[in-house]
Amino acid sequence: SRLVFLCFLYLKLLIINQTVIHTGLIDANDVTQTPILWKDQGNNATMSCSHTKGADYYQMYWYRQLPGQNMELIVFTTTAKKGDHDFGKFSKDKFSATKTEAQNGDFTVKNLDSSAVYFCAASYHSATCH
Q: Give pLDDT tens digits along the chain (130 positions).
A: 444 444 444 444 443 333 444 433 344 457 667 766 677 788 898 999 888 888 888 888 888 888 889 989 998 888 876 667 777 788 889 899 998 898 999 999 999 887 777 888 887 766 554 4
For position 104, what pLDDT does the model report? 92
Instruction: Yes or no: say if 60 and 48 are a contact pair by the CB < 8 Å rule.
Output: no
Report how far residue 17's alpha carbon sits from residue 51's, in angstroms, rounded to the nearest whole number. 32
46, exposed or middle or buried, with CB in 10 Å at 0-12, 13-18, 19+? middle
Q: In angstroms, what CA-CA distances link 4 with 17, 27, 76, 104, 116?
A: 34, 10, 14, 14, 20
Q: Is the pTM of this model over 0.85?
A: no
Please state the domain extents for the chain.
Answer: 3-123
For position 82, what pLDDT does the model report? 67
Domain 3-123: which topology? Answer: Immunoglobulin-like (2.60.40)
